[in-house]
A = this chain, B = another copy of it.
Amino acid sequence: MYTDLPEEQLRAYRGAVREPVDFDRFWADTLAESRAAGSPPRVEPVAVGLTAVDVHDVIFSGFAGQPVRAWLRLPRAADGPLPTVVQYAGYGGGRGHPLENLLWAAAGFAHLAMDTRGQGSGWCRGDTPDPAAAGPEVPGVATRGIGDPRTYYYRRLITDAVRAVDAARSLPAVDPARVAVLGHSQGGAMALATGALVPDLRAVVAAVPFLCDVPRAITVTATHPYREIRDYLAVHRDAEDRVLATLSYVDGVNFARRCLLPARYSVALMDEIVPPSTVFAAVNAHAGPTELSVWRYNGHEAGGIDDDAAALRFLGAHLRG
Which of A's residues lie within 8 Å of B, judged by CB? 1-2, 48-53, 75-78, 92, 94, 96-97, 99-100, 102-103, 105-108, 118-122, 124-141, 143, 218-222, 228, 230-238, 240, 269-270, 295-299, 301, 303, 305-306, 308-309, 312-313, 316
Task: Identify which of B103, B121, B228, B316 contacts A99 (C-beta below 8 A).
Answer: B103
Within 8 Å CB of A125, what residues of B? 136, 235-236
Question: Is B2 touching A122 in the complex (CB atoms < 8 A)?
Answer: no
The distance in angstroms between the C-alpha atoms of A27 and B298, with both chains bound, is: 33
Q: How many copies does the complex hold?
A: 6
Partner of A1, one of B50, B222, B313: B222
With CB as the reference atom, state the residue of chain B lying closest to A125. Answer: B235
A308 to B98, CA, bound (A): 11
| A136-B143 contact given A235-B124, A306-B97, CB 8 Å threshold | no
Chain B, residue nearest A308 (CB): B99
Given A1-B222, A52-B105, A298-B237, A139 and B140 contact (CB-CB distance below 8 Å): yes
- Cβ distance A141 to chain B, nearest Cβ, rounded Å: 8
**Can you list 15 residue pairs at the A/B interface with Cβ under 8 Å?**
A1-B230, A50-B106, A51-B75, A52-B105, A102-B103, A119-B137, A121-B235, A125-B235, A127-B136, A129-B133, A129-B134, A132-B133, A230-B270, A233-B296, A233-B297
Do the beta carbons of A312 and B51 come within 8 Å of each other?
Answer: no
Chain B's nearest CB lies how many Å from the CB of A277? Answer: 13
CA distance A121 to B107 in the complex (A): 26
Bound-state Cα–Cα, A308 to B48, Å = 11
Q: Is the CB of B121 within 8 A of A305?
A: no
CB distance from A74 to the nearest CB of B (A): 10
- List 14 other contacts, CB 8 Å, given A52-B107, A130-B133, A134-B134: A52-B76, A76-B77, A100-B305, A121-B231, A122-B139, A125-B136, A125-B235, A125-B236, A127-B136, A130-B134, A139-B228, A230-B270, A237-B297, A237-B303
- A235 contacts which chain B residues (CB < 8 A)? 120-122, 124-125
Judging by beta carbons under 8 Å apart, are B102 and A118 in contact? no
